[in-house]
Amino acid sequence: MRAGSLALRLFVSATVVSVAVLTITGFALHQVYRAAVERAFDQRLDVYLKTIVADVANSASGSMPEPTTLGDPLFNFPISGWYWQITRTDGAAAQVKTSRSLPEGKLPLLVARSETSDVSGLREGYADGPSGQKLRIVERVVDLGEDGRYAVAVAADAGEIEEEVAGFDQALAMTLAVLGGAFLLTLVFQVLFGLRPLKRMLAALHDVRTGRADRIEGAYPIEIAPLAAEVNALIDTNREIVERARTHVGNLAHALKTPISVLQNEAARPGVAETDAALAAKVTEQAQIMKEQVAHHLERARMAARASVVTTVEEVEPIVTRLAATLAKVHRGKGVAVEAEVAGNVRFRGERQDLEEILGNLVDNGCKWARSLVEVAVSPVPGAAGERDYFEIVIDDDGPGLTPDQQTEALKRGKRLDESQPGSGLGLSIVTELVGLYGGRLTLDRSPFGGLRCVVRLPAA
């Protein structure tokens, strides 16, 4: 899952929602369990409270009630955490009787703290007790009419509640952690499995781009099947547009060839040439320029059509080796050697004849100007993550070379720096346009041998 990917977005968003849901669930279960523990604890205290209330109701008139035995020795041990208290609240001064476990001080009255009670008059709450204990208190007010009004309370150390809730929280946290981990693993599998068709589509598009397939093939889920169909339709439409444009340009070029040839033939007729030699020469010159331009643009249209719908992949090594051997034979009379070194497994994503035209123009140009050596080196250039790969062709010669200004001028269409060598001056410009059509780049520099260095970067398969 890379940064910015759809898989990472789905994973992060689902993780955030899952953590929020598990947190809320854990908090809700904690509250429910704590309430259940408190209810169970209050029921224990209520048993003692009812016993004391019965003793208060049966006590002699005019005296403070004295509870009978409660059956739990903890009420007799000092600071045991279990206490009872009877408080008469209708006298001028409150009279208090407490258990032996509460040797000094007294319990706070919940009725005095305005704690709410249920329909039976029972109140529950927390309060601070002796020795810093936190107590859980249940209290009920007993009104005996003329015999007095009493607040009866039973309290116990709330640490039992906290310990039981803490144990539950620990088990709950472990359970939710395991559940969350299992859920995340399931989520990862679900995201990767759910996005697998997109990966298949990406691989299919890569095959189309690299020339291994003409269309996106295979069955896809109904959510992305229309996308595959639209991409295939776009590919077909692009091919049709390029083919129509190529046909129109070709028709135009061929239509112009005949009138240009007529102009040349008319200008070269003996009668016209003798009558106005200057005009005949000018017409011949301009007609030749027109013929070269038509040929150039016709070739450019052909190259554009091939580069736009590339479906082939060519091995580079045999093309370079064969071309180097051929040009070495052609220029053997000058004593120029052509050496080639190609890294293994370099493949060109394009048409074979386009690569041959690029290499042929550059290597032939190097042979024309070299004194004794032209060197061709091919090496791969891996692209960054998510980007296409390239390979570089470096052509060095030991000729006179070009200055930086001359290098810039040499790449201009039809620009010739020296008329001593044959040619129309369109070679480098054609190479530049053809390389550009493939998304590559042509640069000129000074060769280590003292001549010209041509560096061509082209897409690799």
pLDDT tens sequence across 188-208: 888 888 878 888 888 888 777
Burial of 117 (0-12, 13-18, 19+ CB in 10 A): middle
- CA proximity to 448, closest of 379, 412, 401: 401
Calpha distance 254→48 (Å, rounded):
114
Sequence-separated (6 or more) residues with CB below 8 Å from residue 214? 208, 235, 311
Mean pLDDT check: name the lowest of 78-82, 189-193, 209-213, 413-417. Answer: 413-417
**Quick check: 396 and 365 in contact, CB under 8 A?**
no
Calpha distance 51→46 (Å, rounded):
9
* Residue where the block lists tokens 């200055």: 403
pLDDT at 456: 94
pLDDT at 107: 83
Is the pLDDT at 165 greater than 90? The verdict is yes
The arithmetic mean of pLDDT across residues 59-72, rounded, is 70
If you average pLDDT over every residue of the chain, what do you get?
81
DSSP states of 327-352 as a string? HHHHTGGGT-EEEEEE-TT-EESS-H
pLDDT digits (tens, 9 = 90+) for 361-376: 899 989 988 999 999 9
The phi and psi torsions of 122 (rounded to 5 degrees) equal -80, 135
Encoded tokens for 255: 């239509």
SS3 content of the chain, % helix, strand, coil (to 5): 55, 15, 30
- CA proximity to 302, closest of 350, 256, 240, 249: 249
**Quick check: 358 and 434 in contact, CB under 8 A?**
yes
Q: Which residues are registered as beta bridge partners of 379?
A: 392
Percent of the chain with pLDDT over 70: 85
Encoded tokens for 410: 């040499």
pLDDT digits (tens, 9 = 90+) for 277-295: 777 777 777 888 787 777 7
Calpha distance 192→178 (Å, rounded):
21
Calpha distance 49→136 (Å, rounded):
13
Sequence-separated (6 or more) residues with CB below 8 Å from residue 129? 81, 83, 107, 135, 155, 157
pTM of this structure: 0.50
pLDDT at 93: 64
